[in-house]
Amino acid sequence: MPTILRYAGPARHVLRERTSISIPPIIRRPAYLLGCLLGLFLIAGLPEVFYVQGGVLHVDPLALPRSIAGYVHGLFTGESFTYGAHWASRSFIDTLRYTLPTSLRYSSIALTISLLLGLSFGVLLGARRREAAQDLLGGVGVLPDFVLALLLQIAVVAIFKETGLRLARTASISVEEQAVLLPLIVLSVLPTVYLMRDVSHRVFEVSTKEYVLVARAQGLSTARTTWRHVLPHALVHVRANATKLAALMLGNLFIVEYLFNLRGVTRLLFAWAGSRYYEFALVFNSLVVTIGLFFILVIAMRLLLSAIQEAAARL
């Protein structure tokens, strides 16, 4: 057998290089960190810059540096970690004790579900190109998260009205009675569809490569070719898109926590919406925590994908 045709699978050094977790630039570069903080300050400060009072539109660009200075000062006095009017002031850290686990629980379960389903169905779809399946998937993927949430809520209420059957809670009414099923469905459907499309696309791309033909010509089965030769290479691209997927999940989390009345981190960003006073410190703190959540999601996703990649390459 001519040795030149023997393909040894994805080169180990390529994998090793790709599977190492790189330190995000936010930690590596202080200037970058500063820029991010300024960006968050800007977003949090916007409602104080543009506002309507007494039927007149005010634009107060100086409110931004004022708020930032107030926040930094509050860091030392501790005021930046409390919110609410002074007679009903609450600690932000205490609030995090229940909001952060809630957000983490929902998003990590959704992440696991969508990775499992997205990867397995993506590989199945990618090996055979089915236009109809792609059309359908894209059609579900194009529906916004809030449409999905509202439709599910309406469906549950309609079924209850018709049959008296309570399939799921349409919203959380207390700590004990949290809506679980519907939020998880909404949180996982869009990432799953996104992953399925991405993975199937990548798997198809890789499967048109000549080394796959060589592997097949050597008599390797479809399953083995897929696992050993196609999947690791396809996953490299999926891993590179992990931030996009995490951003998608985060965006969904905002909508889901709001629509299903979950006490998560992203709800804190809108806690001031009904009240008279704007809470700069609360919004800024919540933004920072939300970004932290995003990084946790990205790292979890990368680790899981790396594990799958390694397992596939070692098979």
Partner 1 sequence: MTPIPKTANVSPSTQRNLRRRPLPLKLIVGAILCSFLLFIAVIGPRLAPYPRDWSEKIAYEMTEEGPVAVYPPRPPSTAHWLGTDRWGYDIFSLILYGAPWTIFTALAVACARVFVGACLGLVRGTRAGEAPSLRNTGPLGALPHFLVVFFVMAGINTASPLHPWQLVLIQGLLMTAVGVPAIASSLSEKVYTHKRAQFVEAAESLGAGRVRVGIRHIVPMLREDLMLLVLTEVILVLTLLGQLGIFNLFLGGTKLGLDPPAYYSITNEWAGLIGQSRASLQVNQWTVLAPLGAFVSAVISLYVLLRGLEQWTREGLARHSYLSR
Give the residues lining the site for partner 1 (CB under 8 A). Answer: 25-26, 32, 35-36, 39-40, 43-44, 46-52, 55-57, 126-129, 131, 135, 138-139, 142-147, 150-151, 153-154, 157-158, 170, 203-204, 207-209, 212-213, 216, 222, 225-226, 230, 243, 246-247, 250-251, 254-255, 258-259, 269-270, 273-274, 287, 290-291, 294-295
CB of 76 to partner 1, least distance (A): 25
| Residue 181 · residue 106 · CB < 8 Å | no
Please, which contacts does 32-40 make with residues 24 or more away whose CB atoms are closer than 8 Å? 36/291, 40/284, 40/287, 40/288, 40/291
Nearer to partner 1, 13 or 266 (CB): 266
CB of 148 to partner 1, least distance (A): 10
Nearer to partner 1, 13 or 162 (CB): 162
CB of 78 to partner 1, least distance (A): 25
Nearer to partner 1, 270 or 307 (CB): 270
Radius of gyration of the chain (CA): 24
Residue 90: strand, helix, or coil: strand
What stretch of H or E contains 58? strand 56-59
End-to-end CA gap in the chain = 23
DSSP letter assigned to residue 306: H
Nearer to partner 1, 94 or 128 (CB): 128
Residue 1: strand, helix, or coil: coil
CB of 215 to partner 1, least distance (A): 8
CB of 109 to partner 1, least distance (A): 20
Which residues, 6 or more positions from 31, have their beta carbon under 8 angstroms from its beta carbon? none
CB of 77 to partner 1, least distance (A): 26
Task: Compute the distance between CA of residue 289 and CA of residue 283 in angstroms, rounded to an integer.
Answer: 10
Task: Compute the distance between CA of residue 285 and CA of residue 91 in angstroms, rounded to an integer.
Answer: 12
| Residue 9 · residue 313 · CB < 8 Å | yes
DSSP letter assigned to residue 21: P
Nearer to partner 1, 250 or 308 (CB): 250
Nearer to partner 1, 29 or 307 (CB): 29
